[in-house]
Chains A and B, each alone.
Chain A
Amino acid sequence: MKIAIASGKGGTGKTTLSTNLASYIAENRECILVDLDVEEPNSGLFIKAELLHEEDMFKKIPEWNESTCELCGNCQTVCSFNAVMKMGKMIMVFPEMCHGCFACSELCPTGSLPMKSKKMGELKSYKSGNLNFIESRLIIGEEQAVPLIKQTLDYVDANFSEDRITILDSPPGTSCPVIEATRDADLVILITEPTPFGLHDLKLAVETVRQMGKPFGVVINRNGIGNDGVEQYCREESLDIIALIPNDRLIAETYSAGNLLYPTVPSVKNAVSHIESYIEKINEKMKRDTV
């Protein structure tokens, strides 16, 4: 079962929840944590584990073969992203603009734009007890996060069985990287904070998961800090509030040092245990529905 931890807004506690929940679950059974915030992966700062495997991740981009090219310009015509351009007697490829659709390459009448691998990031796989932790990291200056997220999820599917609990720490926002990260999730947990910013961005996130047709629930972090707008909204929309994590300077301090919270902060332990039960409930329901 895959659970994506997402939020419309950054800094609401996605990584805090992902790392604490995964570590808590792993105390009793095997669990996988995947950091899909490939632009700024932070989960690894909280998980102390042994590095088992690392590999470079590549995307495919076209490379011009001058010797066979007849300069027909079809590649430029078919590229929707201005990533391939005919300039005089040259075909220029702009790798950072390429989405890797293969159209220019496969529709080239002379096969002069073969797709070649270009490094876009790195994947690392760690293990600590029952917890497998996978992290991908985009090279700085590389603009497209989606291909790396997709390949990371493929790696997880290829290497781990589906019956484990997999926690996906998603990127923030509501655009393409989040969609990619939550696409395969069986359940989405939206984490927010009880402030006007939190509420505004939660609404966007709710619209997103509804459009994707995913079951989801809400966790309110820093509870007590702002107002009751978020709770009111959840009530009006009949959304499940799975857990509340209180606003507490001790939590902020523990987090600031890169430490997990649930071993020392009882309210967080309580929250992750609630969330685990909620996940179990959804899991049971899914099993019943598929029978």
Chain B
Amino acid sequence: MKEIVVISGKGGTGKTSITASLAYLGGEDLIVADCDVDAADMHLLLSPDFGNPEEFYSGELAVINQDVCIQCGKCQEVCRFDAISVVNNQYFVDSLGCEGCGYCARVCPAEAITNERPGVGQVFVSNIRTGSAMVHARLNIGADNSGKLVAKVKKDAKSLAESKNKTAVLVDGSPGLGCPVVSSLSGANFVVLVTESTVSGIHDLKRVYELVEKFGIKAGCIINKADLNPGVTDKIKGFLDASGIVLLSEIPYNESFTKAMTNGKTIVEYDKELGAIISGSWEQIKELCEI
């Protein structure tokens, strides 16, 4: 069983649209995992039934019991996250700022602070319209630890793929370079980098590839909006060449991406020409992953 992760560094490159197309092409052979938990959009294209919701807990949150608090201010003094404020002489924890380190509770002389474990989101195992299943999540607003949630989504997708004897897990990875994307990449067999022909596209591609290189994962690249700026596209190709990244395809700037999305469809279903390009990439990915 192989794990294919699609990432982009930069948002808005068409990553989710392309991943959903690959999921459609892979059909029953794949388990899909949406690890872009911050902006999980894949459900808009694959119609999951939001089955088996499971509450996800991670990290802790300090809560001050006002009846017990003696207003000594020790908690505010030790908090490095400026998460404790004073309103009308009462101490409050700002739940969006609290990192759940528990330091305040440990130093509170009145034992007025408890650590709670709020649910930070839900994980779903859903049936999707490609005839397979998808593991996805909904992270609560401002919730911390999306890295841990990503790890949970991937772990559940993997065990589901193993139990159902699937050939691969297809992961829609997280944006950026921080903890969620590090979590998305761990354990991957192949990375599909989706970039676009813009100066930001190449900038973020180079940055995120440094991370991929650290993990030593084999990579291929899809250049979206490739005809937008031929000069930049050439630079991207030069970078791919020099880094040993396989160029999977060049997709022209095309409004079908949006039109397909607006119709709740994947691009391969909506646009024959673009569909053929993405199908070609999928065949290449399968070959490179030996699946």
Contacts and interface: CB of A to CB of B under 8 A. Distances in A.
Nearest to A102: B80
Interface stretch (B195-203, B239-247, B278-286): B195-203
Contact of A175 (B38, B41, B102, B196): B38
Interface stretch (B127-135, B163-171, B224-232, B269-277): B224-232
Contacts of B250: none
Contact of B258 (A107, A140, A195, A204): A195
A226 B144 contact: no
A204 B141 contact: yes
B146 A175 contact: yes
B11 A197 contact: no
Interface residues of A, number: 57
B139 A174 contact: yes
Nearest to A9: B39
A173 B175 contact: yes
Given A40-B175, A197-B261, A208-B141, 5 more contacts: A40-B200, A101-B80, A172-B39, A183-B96, A256-B229
Contacts of A201: 39, 41
B211 interface: yes
Nearest to B183: A143
B96 A179 contact: yes
A59 to B, nearest CB: 10
A226 B232 CA distance: 27
Contacts of B59: 80
B10 A103 contact: no
Contact of A226 (B80, B141, B182, B258): B258
A136 to B, nearest CB: 13
Contact of A8 (B39, B60, B204): B39
B217 to A, nearest CB: 14
A50 interface: no
Given A175-B142, A258-B199, A101 B103 contact: yes
B101 A226 contact: no
A117 interface: no
16 contacts: A42-B200, A78-B103, A100-B80, A101-B80, A103-B106, A145-B176, A171-B176, A174-B142, A175-B142, A177-B178, A195-B261, A200-B39, A211-B142, A212-B96, A226-B259, A249-B253
A277 B9 CA distance: 34
A176 interface: yes
Interface string B102-135: 1100110000000000000000000000000000
A218 B70 CA distance: 43
Contacts of B175: 10, 40, 172-173
